[in-house]
Amino acid sequence: MTLEQYTKTSYKLSKKLTVSYSTSFSWGIKVFKPEYRDPIFAIYGFVRVADEIVDTFHSFDKENLLKKFIDDTWKAIETGISTNPVLHAFQQVVRDYNIDHKLIAAFLKSMEMDLSNSSYNRENYDEYIYGSAEVVGLMCLKVFLDGDEVRYNELEHPARMLGAAFQKVNFLRDIQSDLDERGRIYLPGIHNHDFIDNKNKALLEKEVENEFKEAFRGIIKLPIAVKLGVYSAYLYYLMLFKKIKRLDVEQLKNSRVRISNWYKLYLLIKSYWKVKLLRTT
């Protein structure tokens, strides 16, 4: 097997990992122009493995596993190769698209925060959101714009807002599972589950509404080759958010809001026609 074969296989494994864990993101990525798909799957594969270490490996030494993952990440980026296929694909994307190492460091720091933080004040909540979600959007933006720093600077804020909105919708949807399975509360300033109420929920929803609005201003300026995929993911999360808004905290604790695969397909088709009306680039 040549190195080229290994790299191609590494991308395929990152894709398989992403598809296995997220049908909504996978559908969006699959409608990108082909040249964008592997790099974005590689980013999400990397993110997924880190998330799994801190979120689901409960019977193992998560601290040491994450430390090794972090060390291996930087070593892969430094040397240009890794025996971990997910890290090998990711380091290739980092090198090919000149992804700022500060974005990677911020993401890994948020993963470390998940090992020790069960609740957040406003300051470290914003830091956590930036590292766990906003920088992922920025890594993808690096791929979408492929070296166009002027447009990157223009779209940096909307990309951050999109990542933040997605993450906060996940927090609202997963209030009970975050408490039961991970012992965490992702509402700023709330340190006890007894104080999670509809007022807290409404405050977070206001933030999310504003972030969706800011994000849309950037989506319409994305290259046409990726616009449909990003907009379909945006529309999926927006619909999820609207369903969450109709429920109170107790209802969210007792059921996980979902969107069926048939409705996801409908949203993808709807996105196609909407994008045709958006300004192309």
Average pLDDT over residues 204-221: 94
Average pLDDT over residues 53-82: 96
Rounded percentage of the chain residues whose pLDDT exceeds 70: 87
Q: Are 14 and 90 contacting, i.e. CB atoms less than 8 angstroms apart?
A: yes
Torsion angle, alpha carbons of 67, 70, 76, 82, to 10: 60
Q: Are 93 and 42 contacting, i.e. CB atoms less than 8 angstroms apart?
A: yes
**Residue 246 confidence (pLDDT) above 70:** yes
Mean pLDDT, the chain, integer: 88
pLDDT of 152 reads 97
**Residue 277 confidence (pLDDT) above 70:** no
Residue bearing the bigger pLDDT, 214 or 118: 214
Q: What is the CATH number of the domain that holds 138?
A: 1.10.600.10
CA of residue 30 relative to chain centroid, distance: 16
DSSP 115: H
Q: Are 230 and 216 contacting, i.e. CB atoms less than 8 angstroms apart?
A: no
How many whole angstroms separate alpha carbon 77 and alpha carbon 93? 10
2: left (phi over 0), alpha (psi -120 to 50) or beta: beta
HSE, CB side, 13 Å, CA atoms: give it for residue 278. 23
Q: Are 128 and 117 contacting, i.e. CB atoms less than 8 angstroms apart?
A: yes
Domain count, the chain: 1
Confidence of residue 281 (pLDDT cuts 50, 70, 90): very low
pLDDT of 280 reads 46
How many whole angstroms separate alpha carbon 219 and alpha carbon 238? 14
Return the SS3 of 93.
Answer: helix
**Residue 140 confidence (pLDDT) above 50:** yes
pLDDT of 251 reads 83
State which residues form the domain around 83. 3-277
Confidence of residue 118 (pLDDT cuts 50, 70, 90): low
Residue bearing the bigger pLDDT, 271 or 251: 251
| Low-confidence winner among 1-5, 60-64, 254-258 (lowest mean pLDDT) | 254-258
Q: Which amino acid is at 49?
A: V
What helix, strand, coil percent values describe the chain, rounded to 5? 80, 0, 20
Q: Are 85 and 74 contacting, i.e. CB atoms less than 8 angstroms apart?
A: no
Confidence of residue 120 (pLDDT cuts 50, 70, 90): confident
How many whole angstroms separate alpha carbon 244 and alpha carbon 156? 27
How many whole angstroms separate alpha carbon 3 and alpha carbon 98? 21
| Low-confidence winner among 23-37, 140-154, 230-244 (lowest mean pLDDT) | 23-37
pLDDT of 58 reads 87
Residue 197's nearest CA partner among 255, 244, 250 is 250
Give the pTM: 0.89
Q: What is the pLDDT of residues 149-205, one digit of tens each?
A: 999 999 999 999 999 999 999 888 887 776 666 666 677 766 556 556 778 788 889
**Residue 279 confidence (pLDDT) above 60:** no
Q: Are 110 and 127 contacting, i.e. CB atoms less than 8 angstroms apart?
A: yes
How many whole angstroms separate alpha carbon 163 and alpha carbon 136? 7
- b (16+ CB within 10 A) / e for 2-37: eeeeebeebbebbbebbbeeeebbbbbbebbeeebb
pLDDT of 113 reads 92
Average pLDDT over residues 77-103: 97
Torsion angle, alpha carbons of 8, 51, 96, 88, to 10: -40
Q: What is the pLDDT of residues 148-164, one digit of tens each?
A: 999 999 999 999 999 99
Confidence of residue 256 (pLDDT cuts 50, 70, 90): confident
Q: What does the chain come to in residues?
A: 281
pLDDT of 199 reads 82
Tell me the CA end-to-end span of the chain in Å, nearest whole number. Answer: 40
**Residue 257 confidence (pLDDT) above 90:** no
SS3 string, 29-60, reads HHCCCHHHHHHHHHHHHHHHHHHHHHHHCCCC
